[in-house]
Chains A and B, each alone.
Chain A
């Protein structure tokens, strides 16, 4: 909008003609231009806007007041007046006499004579300086806003990255915590197991004494009665025989408990594992014959002497042989091997950690017992070393056998591994791994006193 109303100055005097007065006093800057682009009429608003006098403007070409005329839309239109008779809403820039740029919203229409020839062009310009300024302000505000948004976005991104980093850290911490928790649980479980075993051990001696004495009385009493009752009463004989068998069964359980409690002492000497195996097999000859078991031995010659408690290892072997034989009631094959083996695979207890029983690359002595029985269900394999776990509860198993085996082997700083053979129908393989040298490097004999 012009700063001052054109009515105030009236540089062009009012005309007599009413219509011309309208044109002179209208608010928009009006220029009438001939087809050759020279100005033929101006109104007050134009003079006020451009700062020229009427005389200065009449006859002046448009190029003098339209900025960058050659490239302006107006110039293009003037070259095509016959095609486009009017234009509207075009933004152009006028140059005032003092050189000031004035943005205008331009509307133009052609004026034709009676013959239809273009007589002139009516150009109306509305000063949009204020609007432009607002637009600039707006754009600046928008730019500012954009900058702020960008800054804020960047800040958000930074804090987001920070958060992600923290989240990752937290996840790591959480994982570590979980791992620690699992380890703690395991340790706790092992402690509980240990505590259980200690309690079992302590209880065993007490229970054995308290139970075995009454059992002894029952046994003697039953035998006395068996002699005294009339022989022709088979039911009485059956009843008493059953009592006697029950006493024997109870005694087996108590003896198992005692074995368990006797686990904590070893008498170590340099011993020949092969000969312990031979002697243990002799003990079970009647059993393997009865079950029609084909026993084969593949014992390595010149096997090194090992630091062992002969009696306890014999107990282990008898236990394992009995398990194997009982797993093959219809007959089968029992194979016992001894050999030296260099450990090449990480396994529980085999590795490079200080708590590992064997180091990777260490050569160990192995006793391997293989049967052709039905094996053990894979999901039960992890439980078979637990005290009181048994698959033969109804057949008189106490469930202490394999836990004792494991205990004895571990006291020897060894490992017992049980695995189903690749084809489970082919039975079970038990491997006992022994140190050739004790962990402290001694041959074991000097350490005897510690283990007694």
Chain B
């Protein structure tokens, strides 16, 4: 029984290897940008006022896709919460298996958590200038929340604040998109606000605003996923 199953696995791996090999052997780097890349490279700066072209594509040119990604993440968080809502909360904060965190972790977290949260905010506010943006900044925010949870497993974040941040930023994000459709060129158009001086923090129209909202939403969603793992426990 085990031999044919292994053979199937090896055959599948071999097919995958051949597929990758044909992909790689025919690969030659492009000598010049293709048409859409060329358009982005030439027109991003004056059309959106964003210094980071990747951000301009994610937030403005392909803004609807980003909205879809945020929706997928929201669904994931909702499903994790739904599945784990059948679990029980631990009876006591210090259950039989919860190890007390060490002195090093508690003290280190006290210094590091505010710095990590600040860095996350920096990353998504500067998304239109430097690499990174809402998703990365939100993930960094959630890492700060995780560190706080690891240092103090009994710590509980306020559910109502997380839900308020999550739904509020989602609502504002869609509202900005609709305002863009009414006042500017289309849904999620960033030119509802003045483009500002190229390369300064208050530039790029609505991009910093949208990325801040995305960052808050992503951070709240990741935090709520990790928190529901920490807070629940199956019946013994």
Q: Do A and B bind each other?
A: no
Hey, which bits of chain A sit against chain B, CB under 8 A? none
B-side residues, CB < 8 A to A, are none
